[in-house]
Structure 1
Amino acid sequence: MSDPTDFEDAELDMAAAMGMGQAPKQLNQAEIDRLLNVEEPAGDGRPAASAIERLVNSTAVNKDRLPMLDVIFDRMVRLLNTSLRQLTSSNVEASLVRVDWLRFSDFLATVELPALIGVARAEQWDNHLLVSMDSSLIYTMMDVLLGGRRSRPGRVEGRAYTSIERKLTERLTKVILQDLSQSFDPLAKVDFSFDRLETNPQFAAITRATNVTIRARIAIEVERRVGHAEVVIPYATLEPVRAKLVQMYMGEKFGRDVMWETHLKSELQRTRIDLVAVLHQIEAPLGEVLAWKPGTALKLKVSPDAPTVLMSGETPLFAGRMGQCNENVAVRIETDLDTKGELVDGLLSH
């Protein structure tokens, strides 16, 4: 943690330099890191990140922007408990470890080799996602499904996965995808279809290395042996349902009040408007219209019993016959032009 006096010392040095007519002091990298409070100790033999590196890496999207995503992953884990118990006929406990927001290149760097990464496709969203499993989970599921030993499996180094292990991993991946699809059902209908298995993380690239992804890490315990599975979804894949994922709770509405709309619509229906009875409309050249004078006769090709259209502004509402009622000119409505709804909706939109 940086000392608050560092800020005061830096300000005093700069003020003194400016007051004496000298050039401002240039801060070195260590002083910049201390002022920005981004200095961190080195670990695992790696040097501490500089201030500029930390600022660049801080552009990742905050997970709080999609609060419904945590609800979806929690629901998927509950469904996995039931699905995996039916698959293995054993006591299986799945739990959500954490949900991380990271760049796709950072995820690829954390994949341990040998690896099996399932590539899936979101049909309705026309995009992809990944399901990755570590070797502990793969070997554990192999032993449970094929009736092998119940002890903790030893670590196998440098051996590629067999066809049987690949088939069982594909089957487990489809179970995870099916439960993930059911978890999205309350928000949006989407089908996650299995595409292929990749052993090289570089061949499982479904987005740019710098793009933001969401990684859900799930711990699966079978027969007191624990393995991990990861569901990696690019942020662009969730773009079609982002408006629903930003909700704080299911069914939340933004910028809309149904009760107020109903009240406004009822009040508009009681509002008085001006109607114009149009007997006939003709089109004439502008030069002819400018030549009209008082007494000019216009020939309308319309019969006396032709229908009259009642209009509100540019919207036609009714059609009827022109007549007389109690010494007043009247129009008897005979046809509803089914445009009243458009008139009300147009008023509501404004």
Structure 2
Amino acid sequence: MTEVLSQDEIDQLLTAISTGDTEPEEAQQVTERKNIRIWDFRRPDKFSKEQIRTVSFMHETFARLTTTSLSAQLRSLVNVHVASVDQLTYEEFIRSIPSPTALAVINMDPLKGSAILEIDPAVTFSIIDRLFGGTGEGSKINRELSEIERSVMESIIVRILGNMREAWSQVIDLRPRLGQIETNPQFAQIVPPTEMVVLVTLETKVEDVEGMMNFCIPYLTIEPIISKLSAQYYYSSIRRGTTTENLNILRERLAGINVAMVAEVGGIQLTMRDILSIKKGDVIRLSNTSLNDPMVLKIGNRPKFDCRPGAVGNKIAVQVTRKIEDVDQTDFEELAVEGDEE
């Protein structure tokens, strides 16, 4: 890095060298202690490298979720990934996007202010064509969206915002809402032109059509949580994980899962020759089981309860009598090994 000395410092060094008070080596050390940092007052950097990196991590999750949801909705191969995360002025962002385009103004509740989600026209019309029953092939369309097309894109953007909420959940309980869709970037002045923004650029591919999806967040909007945009906070919040809200969500999701439950009377091991020779009227004696022994109620493949058979109305039923103590999985493996040795 080139060091710059003031005129007074230069005069002092020349005087000291000429009088013999100092050596040239000492003068070199003085210049090495000098540290000049370049600062552009017209475009000050407000996001640190660590904060930019954390924003990138968050939106990599957003890209994965969006890839899955759009692929399912369009029934087509969709790929979304983070291309870059940069900070620039809002004016530079507006000048970099085409016109007309699909430009959604997003309310970032509970944060104050708005953000911008811009989708490249090639991707927009490819999505619309797929939803209207077409092949989704890209075409050089350069026009504003019709009312029907605007309504279709609203539903797509609302689904994308659901992915954004989940991606931001480790930092804040974000509730993004679609405000309006503009086609002319000049009509979307959410902050002054000189205000700094963080721009997340996502490369988006729908079948063979490629384009960009840009998410622009002003510094004024993200400022209240800027201290949380650190790798330490982000990963510690992931490790915490077991909040009451997360547990309730897990319970709701588990409540709808079907699990097989089997009441087992008893069991026996037979050779394939014996099984093939079984015929009507044969009696198979179950090992280690008597008429007074309880039946075993299995959930999945795990024995969980003792029970006894009965009936409720016209239905066959079992009554749970005792909970079987949980057995560690390694015990099952040891028993299986011993059985093989025998």
Contact 1:122 1:193 in 2 (8 A): yes
Q: For residues 90-127 of structure 1, what are the alpha-carbon distances to aligned partners after superposition, in whole Å with 9 as ceiling and x for unaligned?
A: 11111111111111111111121112210111121132
Supply the AA of the counterpart residue of 2:166.
Q
CA distance in 2, matches of 1:187, 1:62: 16
- 1:126 corresponds to: 112
Match of 2:46 among 61, 74, 91: 61
Contact 1:132 1:230 in 2 (8 A): yes
- 2:73 corresponds to: 87
CA distance in 2, matches of 1:188, 1:249: 11
Is residue 179 of structure 1 aligned with residue 179 of structure 2?
no
Is residue 144 of structure 1 aligned with residue 130 of structure 2?
yes
CA shift at 1:165, angstroms? 2.1
Give the alignment's Cα RMSD to 1 decimal. 3.2
Q: How does 1:187-336 map to 2 (within 5 A)?
A: 187-248=171-232, 250=234, 252=236
- Using a 3 Å threshold, how does the CA distance of structure 1 residues 208 and 139 change in structure 2: closer, same or farther? same
Contact 2:87 2:198 in 1 (8 A): yes
CA distance in 1, matches of 2:122, 2:54: 30
Contact 2:127 2:136 in 1 (8 A): no
CA distance in 2, matches of 1:83, 1:150: 17
- 1:305 corresponds to: none
Task: Point out where structure 1 has 5 or more consecutive residues left out of the alignment.
Answer: 20-36, 38-50, 254-350
- Using a 3 Å threshold, how does the CA distance of structure 1 residues 142 and 229 change in structure 2: closer, same or farther? same
Secondary structure, counterpart of 2:84 in structure 1: strand
Match of 1:98 among 71, 76, 84: 84
Contact 1:104 1:211 in 2 (8 A): yes
CA distance in 2, matches of 1:232, 1:211: 12
CA shift at 1:131, angstroms? 0.6
CA shift at 1:150, angstroms? 4.6
Question: Identity of counterpart residues, as a percentage?
Answer: 22
CA distance in 2, matches of 1:58, 1:123: 27
Q: How many residues align?
A: 217
Q: For residues 27-80 of structure 1, what are the alpha-carbon distances to aligned partners after superposition, in whole Å with 9 as ceiling and x for unaligned?
A: xxxxxxxxxx9xxxxxxxxxxxxx9xx833451224414142221111101111
- What's the TM-score once normalised by structure 1's chain length? 0.55
Secondary structure, counterpart of 2:82 in structure 1: strand
Runs of 4+ in 1 over 4 A off after TM superposition: none
Match of 2:101 among 95, 115, 118: 115
Q: For residues 165-199 of structure 1, what are the alpha-carbon distances to aligned partners after superposition, in whole Å with 9 as ceiling and x for unaligned?
A: 21222222212211111111122211001111112
Q: For residues 121-145 of structure 1, what are the alpha-carbon distances to aligned partners after superposition, in whole Å with 9 as ceiling and x for unaligned?
A: 1121132111111111111112211
CA distance in 1, matches of 2:124, 2:189: 22
- Using a 3 Å threshold, how does the CA distance of structure 1 residues 113 and 243 change in structure 2: closer, same or farther? same
Contact 1:131 1:231 in 2 (8 A): yes
CA shift at 1:222, angstroms? 1.2
- What's the TM-score once normalised by structure 2's chain length? 0.56
Q: Select the structure of larger CA radius of gyration.
A: 1
Contact 1:75 1:183 in 2 (8 A): yes
CA shift at 1:162, angstroms? 1.4
CA distance in 2, matches of 1:63, 1:84: 32
- Using a 3 Å threshold, how does the CA distance of structure 1 residues 136 and 78 change in structure 2: closer, same or farther? same
Contact 2:43 2:89 in 1 (8 A): no
Contact 2:105 2:178 in 1 (8 A): yes
CA distance in 2, matches of 1:151, 1:84: 16
- Using a 3 Å threshold, how does the CA distance of structure 1 residues 109 and 165 change in structure 2: closer, same or farther? same
Q: For residues 305-341 of structure 1, what are the alpha-carbon distances to aligned partners after superposition, in whole Å with 9 as ceiling and x for unaligned?
A: xxxxxxxxxxxxxxxxxxxxxxxxxxxxxxxxxxxxx
